[in-house]
């Protein structure tokens, strides 16, 4: 008799507040994976592009109720009910509450479009980050993928990748370089963490 080893797919939850281009890359990466799948999308913004992606991809999506998010265990339970193994913040702009961080200790990661600890913290996202890098005259920027703790953009670093900031670069040009790094590295790191 031949024994067939049956392994169940790991479950990824993506939290996003914006367009969701990183979320899309992760969904694509795991589309035919034997390791994991994106099984839940969570957002704090009803008009976020991520909801269109969720609909197109037929992934369950949840709009956060702010009051419940910051008080009580509704979202811990939501993640547990979906058997989530890894929570991926892909442009999620709210702080993650302590109870969620504790319940998923070491299993929540974030991506930030700069070389943390530089240019992190509340209000530092998108063009605000790139404009700050340019205003400081930095000659390099990059991405940071890190574990999430109770502070903004603060937990242990998993990966940093760099790109040059060239004379004449605008925030748009820098944003494109950073986005290319994010789209390349984020799905690979998610896979590495789940393997
Ligand atoms: C990404 O650039 C990500 O690094 C950033 O939001 C963008 C989301 O883009 N996150 C932060 O700034 C977190 N502090 P997307 O919606 O196209 O994936």
- Structural domain harbouring 148: 10-194
- pLDDT tens profile 173-190: 999 999 999 999 999 999
Residue 152 pLDDT class (50, 70, 90 cuts): confident
User: What is the model's pLDDT at position 57?
Assistant: 98
CA of 30 to the centre of ligand 1 (A): 20
User: Given the CA of residue 18, which atom of ligand 1 is nearest to it?
Assistant: 16
Residue 154 pLDDT class (50, 70, 90 cuts): confident
Which 3 state secondary structure label does DSSP give 182?
A: helix
User: What is the model's pLDDT at position 192?
Assistant: 98
| Residue 31, domain member (yes or no) | yes
| Residue 133, domain member (yes or no) | yes
| Residue 124, domain member (yes or no) | yes
* Count of structural domains, the chain: 1
Q: Which residues contact 72 (CB under 8 A, 6 or more apart)?
A: none
Tell me, using a 6 A CB cutoff, whether residue 112 lines ligand 1.
yes
Contact between residue 23 and residue 16 where contact means Cβ atoms under 8 Å apart: yes
CATH code of 29's domain:
3.40.50.170
User: What is the model's pLDDT at position 122?
Assistant: 86
* CB burial readout 115-147, b (16+ within 10 A) else e: bbebbbeeebbeeebbebbbeeebeebbbbbbb
User: Given the CA of residue 153, which atom of ligand 1 is nearest to it?
Assistant: 14
Whether 82 is catalytic is no
Angstrom distance (rounded) from CA 119 to CA 152: 11
Could you tell me the pTM of the whole model? 0.94
| Residue 113, domain member (yes or no) | yes
Q: Is 72 annotated as a binding residue?
A: no
| Residue 4, domain member (yes or no) | no
User: What is the model's pLDDT at position 10?
Assistant: 98
CA of 48 to the centre of ligand 1 (A): 12
CA of 10 to the centre of ligand 1 (A): 24
Angstrom distance (rounded) from CA 61 to CA 55: 8
Tell me, using a 6 A CB cutoff, whether residue 175 lines ligand 1.
no
Residue 6 pLDDT class (50, 70, 90 cuts): low
């Amino acid at each position: 008799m031949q024994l067939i080893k049956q392994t169940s797919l790991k479950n990824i939850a993506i939290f996003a507040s914006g367009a969701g281009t990183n979320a899309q890359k992760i969904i694509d990466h795991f589309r035919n994976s034997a390791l994991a799948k994106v099984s839940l999308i969570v957002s704090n913004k009803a008009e976020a592009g991520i909801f269109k992606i969720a609909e197109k991809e037929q992934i369950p999506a949840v709009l956060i109720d702010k009051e419940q998010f910051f008080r009580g265990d509704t979202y811990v339970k939501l993640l547990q009910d979906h058997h989530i193994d890894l929570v991926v913040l892909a442009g999620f702009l709210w702080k993650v509450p302590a109870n969620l961080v504790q319940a998923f200790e070491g299993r929540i990661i974030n991506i930030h479009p700069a070389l943390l600890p530089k240019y992190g913290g509340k209000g530092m996202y998108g063009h605000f980050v790139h404009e700050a890098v340019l205003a400081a005259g930095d000659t390099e920027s990059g991405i940071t993928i890190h574990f999430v703790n109770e502070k903004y953009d603060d937990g242990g670093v998993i990966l940093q990748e760099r790109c040059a900031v060239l004379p004449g670069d605008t925030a748009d040009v820098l944003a494109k370089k950073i986005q290319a790094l994010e789209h390349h590295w984020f799905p690979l790191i998610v896979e590495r963490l789940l393997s």
